[in-house]
């Protein structure tokens, strides 16, 4: 490609912070739950770069024609590939798009077509823009966006912290997970955390139903946690992890009295039956990459221990993103850990997010 900025290129990243910054030199944008993508266009050639520098082009063939139609002849644009399901972000459907089989890729490109949300521009024609301040890059991106039409979109942006705070609350209802704050005078720094992200963080009390050993074999790597529904059935919510080395070793002794020898006594024992996995995912459920046979690579516990965990969001009945252990809750009964304690955002459509005015 004959561009002033060429692939592969790692995108600029954001550092997690607590709360919306008070400083006045920031532009705020919705934070998307998709695949980061830098689009390189040189005439008829388009290359979709990813965060790990591996091309995404073959997985999203339906985006090539719209990007040809909407973008300048020669440019580099940073953004996010998303999939919407019923006007809501569908991250599960997006994950299914990364598949080795061409026939599956083609079928899913029709069943769950992707969209592209642009939020930065790194080059136009022969001019590299990565050393220009974001305020100027945004102005150029807005000029380019006059040619955008679905499924290519311009991300909403605002300099008003009050508007950003409203977005932070409302847009979660469409499946978004927070805000990105960009210094207006900041240059584009590939692979550097030179921007800021504010994500939703909450806590919940969960049942500790099992654990997996750390990959190095020394101590506990993750706790398998669950919540009860209205009928007191325990559902797998995901794992709590990111333990320090000394705590991983301590957890082996802490959990030892609660290990059960007979897996048939565990509420998730039914999920060792491959035919049961049609109803959802539980520990041992086979993935689309496996041979189809579940495996018990975890140690079951008696489901009497309760832990407080920090989480960001719930997607399709499971914790989304990293869930972190906070503390043990010996004052709580496991049967009291129910879905009802989780916060639920007011539903809204992605179309409303994309049309928001900043």
Judge whether 31 counts as a catalytic residue.
yes
Render pLDDT for 56-111 as a digit per residue (tens, 0 to 9): 999 999 999 999 999 999 999 999 999 999 999 998 899 999 999 999 999 999 99
What global pTM score does this model have?
0.80
pLDDT of 330 above 60: yes
| C-alpha–C-alpha distance, residues 123 and 140, integer Å | 10
Question: Model confidence at 321, in pLDDT bands (50, 70, 90)?
Answer: confident
Question: Model confidence at 292, in pLDDT bands (50, 70, 90)?
Answer: very low
pLDDT of 272 above 80: no
Catalytic residue among 15, 31, 54, 182: 31
| C-alpha–C-alpha distance, residues 199 and 180, integer Å | 9
Mean pLDDT of 162-178: 93
| C-alpha–C-alpha distance, residues 23 and 164, integer Å | 13
Render pLDDT for 54-71 as a digit per residue (tens, 0 to 9): 999 999 999 999 999 999
- Do the beta carbons of residue 225 and residue 309 sit within 8 Å? yes
**Average model confidence (pLDDT) across the chain:** 90
Q: Give the pLDDT of residue 14.
A: 96
pLDDT of 217 above 90: no
CA angle 182, 310, 276 (to 5 degrees): 115
pLDDT of 355 above 70: yes
Q: Give the pLDDT of residue 306.
A: 96
Q: Give the pLDDT of residue 200.
A: 86
């Amino acid at each position: 490609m004959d561009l002033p900025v060429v692939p592969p290129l790692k995108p600029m990243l954001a550092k997690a912070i607590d709360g919306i910054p008070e400083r006045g030199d920031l532009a705020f944008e919705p934070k998307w739950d998709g695949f980061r993508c830098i689009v390189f266009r040189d005439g008829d050639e388009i290359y979709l770069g990813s965060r790990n520098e591996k091309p995404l082009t073959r997985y999203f063939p339906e985006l090539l024609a719209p990007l040809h139609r909407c973008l300048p002849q020669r440019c580099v644009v940073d953004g996010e590939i998303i999939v919407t399901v019923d006007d809501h972000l569908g991250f599960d459907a997006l994950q299914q798009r990364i598949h080795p089989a061409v026939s599956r890729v083609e079928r899913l490109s029709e069943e769950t077509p992707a969209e592209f949300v642009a939020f930065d521009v790194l080059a136009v024609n022969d001019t590299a823009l990565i050393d220009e301040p974001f305020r100027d890059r945004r102005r150029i991106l807005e000029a380019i966006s006059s040619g955008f039409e679905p499924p290519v979109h311009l991300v909403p942006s605002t300099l008003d912290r009050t508007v950003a705070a409203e977005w932070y609350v409302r847009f979660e209802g469409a499946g978004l997970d927070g805000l990105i704050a960009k210094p207006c005078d900041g240059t584009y720094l590939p692979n550097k955390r030179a921007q800021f992200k504010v994500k939703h963080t909450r806590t919940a009390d969960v049942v500790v139903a099992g654990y997996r050993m750390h990959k190095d074999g020394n101590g506990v790597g993750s706790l398998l946690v669950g919540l009860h529904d209205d009928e007191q059935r325990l559902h797998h919510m995901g794992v709590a992890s990111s333990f320090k080395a000394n705590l991983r070793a301590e957890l082996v002794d802490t959990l030892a009295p609660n290990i059960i020898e007979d897996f048939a006594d565990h509420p998730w024992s039914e999920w060792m039956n491959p035919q049961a996995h049609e109803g959802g995912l539980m520990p041992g459920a086979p993935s689309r990459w496996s041979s189809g046979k579940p495996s018990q690579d975890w140690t079951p516990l008696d489901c009497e221990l309760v832990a407080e965990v920090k989480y960001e969001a719930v997607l399709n009945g499971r914790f989304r993103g990293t869930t972190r252990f906070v503390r043990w809750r010996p004052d709580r009964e496991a049967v009291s850990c129910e879905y009802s304690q989780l916060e639920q955002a007011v539903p809204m459509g992605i179309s409303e997010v994309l049309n928001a005015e900043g």
